[in-house]
Amino acid sequence: MVHIVFICTGNICRSPMAEGLLRARWKECGYDGLIVSSMGIHGLDHQEASSLAREICSEHTIDISSHRSRRLDLSELESSDLVLSMEKIHREFLKLFFPRLDDKSSLLGAWPDESGRKSDIRDPMGKSKKVYLQVFNIISGHIDRIIPAIRELYF
């Protein structure tokens, strides 16, 4: 089983959306063998995904209603195959506090080739539904873009 972890700040907006999107799209493609999870660098444990994140996902037939936020779990991060962060600051945090993860850590917006594309995905927390939808669409585009790379590199 290949394990991919998404990282954001609180694990209630972006990373749960990314987790739900990858899980749903992977299944839609008829693939198996993938574990997807998410965590936050400053999150509180056991918080629901934000109401707008749940709403936007639900409108796109993705159910994240059972999501509960989690803080970083070093053992899970170390056993994962790929750690994808939403912003450069998240990746820098991982590099600073968990340098052993550097070889499997990247930005969702830049992976797999660390190209010059805009890589930070802004935090929609406290913003309008329109902003959440924009962020969802950005994450969705990245998920669609990385699925072939995951298949090629890990399967």
Q: Catalytic site residues?
A: 8, 14, 123
Q: How far apart are the first and last CA of the chain?
A: 9
Q: Where are the beta strands (DSSP E) in the chain?
A: 2-8, 34-40, 82-85, 105-107
- List CB contacts of 128: < 8 A, sequence separation 6 or more: none
CA atoms within 13 A on the CB side of 56: 27
Amino acid at 122: R
> Computed from CA positions of residues 3, 146, 121, 124, in that sequence, does the dihedral angle turn out positive or negative?
negative
